[in-house]
Amino acid sequence: MHLLKEIESFCPHTEQEEQTKQEVLKLIQKYNNKILDRDCEAGHITCSGLVLSPDLKKTLMAYHLIYQSVGWLGGHADGEENLSAVAFREVREESSVEKLYFLTKQILAIDILPVPAHEKHGKPVPEHLHYNVTYGLIAPENQKLADKPDENKNVRWIEIKQIPELCTEPHMIPVYQKIIARMQHIAEQKKRIPVLIKQPVLDWYPEHHRDLPWRKDKNPYHVWVSEIMLQQTRVEAVKNYYKRFLEALPDIRALAECPEDELLKLWEGLGYYNRVRNMQKAAQTVMQVYQGKFPDKYDQILNLSGIGEYTAGAISSVCYDLPVPAVDGNVLRVLARLEEDFRNILDNSVKKDFTEQLEKIYDSQNAGTLTQAFMELGATVCIPNGVPKCESCPLKKICMAFQNHSEMLLPVREKKQKRRTEYKTIFVLQCENKIAVRKRPPEGLLAGLWELPNTENFLSPEMAVRQAEDWNTHPEELIKIINRKHVFTHITWEMQAVFLRCRTQSPMFVWADVQELEKKYSLPTAFRCVWK
């Protein structure tokens, strides 16, 4: 029973709170989930969210019509066992606040609160008890607020010190004060964590890091190539690409001067081809502006084409021991769990905050080791898309998510934008053991790469043959039609592949045999998955 587990997870601070907890547990055992309903004869469970501003100096409250007093926000569970979700929902409904997150998902207090007799939607409600469960929430102040007219008015931020003068329910003032004190204590714990993590991570890294080819030296070209390849690509997949790339292009000059088709062929299969195009632009800048020597200043590195803050930080710290952190998804996940931070890690302000926290513990003596240690911890222990290996973590005694069993709830990411679906007919035109390909436009998706001829939408067999005729290939036989799918970041291609044997190699296309397609033309995976 989820409800029972949630109440059992509350750690009382006082003997009175222990008694309250036990009383609520007995009621749950007696009434089961009936205790979540408003018509339960013994009273029912409600969920409140005490909302503080990020600086913890103000609280979001409203004037409640039932109590005729300023107070916190919350509402009835109404059958819902996930009490934290109820508190979150009710705060939003009662205030219209949009940006809101948990300081912690641990229950901060359980209180038995009297409710006076009142009317609700014109019907009398007798006096009864609320078994109120409270959570701590944070919301930025600069948001539009709105009342919930049938329940409250004058939703606003007030100074914490104003609570005693504005709240006309004397029994609620100590409740608010104890919860605010607990939230302030938790916030202080979070602030101390960055200082505590540095040495354990540095001690852990030498014995536990993976032996990766780009860690053999501090050559900025090698680190740069590996970091760009590792974007959106698994480590194991990158190893062979990295080796092949450096064998073909051993230094910055070779990359700067490489013909585009050869460059794209080396990158084939890694996807996101603009990555390697930008690398070549950056290499050309290094040759022209820095006389072939990779720059050793963070701002100069950041200004190179295709290099963002993370990659610039990685090169700066790993290669030059500059005290600049490199904050990527791995590092954000580690920090979000360590501090049990429920903010959206895709929010730039959150990333900036974590970066500033790390800057305070970086110095020029071990910046490179610290950067790689954080990367390694996120990749091998505090892993994504699975259960983190907390028992093997050197920071488990410090980690607030581990202590509160919330590691699987973190990090918080806002939902990804739904992918758009496009439908395409792909043509595999075969003539004299050669296949037709053509160059894509220089702008847009897969810009400048080679492709199989294609059209928008699914064509009927008759229409597909007519299209091939319009291309002057003189189709002779429809061999087969198959279906394939390819998923990009924001687009899904649903593809119908039409295989046609043709009589004429139309000059509209380049005609290549299979061996040439493998070695010479950088045909993206979206098309290779069709004809292979």
Question: Which H or E run contains 132?
Answer: strand 128-138
Please check whether residue 132 is in contact with residue 74, taking contact to mean a CB–CB distance below 8 angstroms. Answer: yes
Rounded to whole angstroms, the Cα distance separating 424 from 464 reads 11
431 has which bridge partners?
Answer: 434
Please check whether residue 83 is in contact with residue 133, taking contact to mean a CB–CB distance below 8 angstroms. Answer: yes
Rounded to whole angstroms, the Cα distance separating 115 from 55 reads 32
In angstroms, what CA-CA distances link 520 with 53, 237, 260? 59, 21, 11
Rounded to whole angstroms, the Cα distance separating 375 from 377 reads 6
63: left (phi over 0), alpha (psi -120 to 50) or beta: beta
Helix (H, G, I), strand (E, B) or coil at 497: strand
Rounded to whole angstroms, the Cα distance separating 346 from 188 reads 24
486 has which bridge partners?
Answer: 493
In angstroms, what CA-CA distances link 164 with 54, 66, 108, 266? 21, 19, 20, 69
Q: DSSP assignment of 142-196, as one string?
A: SS-----TTTEEEEEEEEGGGHHHH---GGGHHHHHHHHHHHHHHHHHHHHHHHH
Helix (H, G, I), strand (E, B) or coil at 521: coil
* DSSP assigned state of 43: -
Which tokens is 302 given? 């950041």
Helix (H, G, I), strand (E, B) or coil at 466: helix
* DSSP assigned state of 417: P
Q: Which of 310, 403, 397 is nearest to 358 (CA)?
A: 310
Residues marked active site are found at 227
Long-range CB pairs of 345-353, under 8 A, 24+ apart, other chains included: 345/411, 345/412, 345/413, 346/413, 346/414, 347/414, 351/327
First to last CA, the chain: 52
Which tokens is 197 given? 């993590």
> Cβ–Cβ contacts within 10 Å for residue 384, how many?
11
Q: Are strands 475-487 and 491-502 parallel, antiparallel or unpaired?
A: antiparallel
> Cβ–Cβ contacts within 10 Å for residue 460, how many?
10
* DSSP assigned state of 326: -
